Amino acid sequence: MSQMTRWFQEGGFAMFPILLLGVVGLVGTIAGLAIGLSSRRRGTPLAFGAGLLAVAVLCVGIGGASYLMAEMKIDAALVAVAPEMRDELRTVGRAEARVALTFGGGAAALPAIGGLLLVALGLARGRDPAAGA
């Protein structure tokens, strides 16, 4: 089994929605930058940018929720363990719990950068002439 597969399994179920959102973020970033740069309207890059920022927040949020749920499971499991083994098992459990959080942060990076660029582009264009006075 490859290291990536093992890491994905350690992250648990939360890895699947994070992966899906990461793919959506990748495609959305490419499409958003292409459409946002070719459009003369202010609203187009702002809308794509806001959507990409939402995808990034969701990636990190799912990873964070998974981490907190894993921490609760670790604490519940350590009650039944001998006191001399708790510190070592807590360390191993937290390392596994951080996997989804790390993956969520990594998956959020590209849509966050693309979203910020598109929002900045939209704001730099000034008032939309099609919106009227």
- Per-residue model confidence as pLDDT tens digits over 21-41: 999 999 999 999 999 888 888
pLDDT digits (tens, 9 = 90+) for 57-87: 999 999 999 999 999 998 888 888 888 898 9
Q: Give the Cα separation of 5 and 112 in Å (integer).
A: 25
Answer yes or no: are the C-beta atoms of 63 and 100 closer than 8 Å.
yes
pLDDT at 4: 79
Residue whose C-alpha is closest to residue 107's, from 24, 7, 11: 24
pLDDT mean over 45-51: 94
Q: Is the pLDDT of residue 110 over 80?
A: yes
Three-state secondary-structure class, residue 50? helix
Q: Give the Cα separation of 57 and 104 in Å (integer).
A: 9
Number of Cα atoms under 13 Å in the Cβ half of residue 47: 8
Q: Give the Cα separation of 82 and 96 in Å (integer).
A: 20
Residue whose C-alpha is closest to residue 131's, from 42, 36, 38, 48: 42
Q: Is the pLDDT of residue 103 over 90?
A: yes
pLDDT mean over 104-126: 93
pLDDT at 130: 59
Q: Give the Cα separation of 37 and 7 in Å (integer).
A: 37
The two structure tokens encoding residue 120? 């900045």
Q: Considering just the CA atoms, what is the radius of gyration of the chain in Å?
A: 20
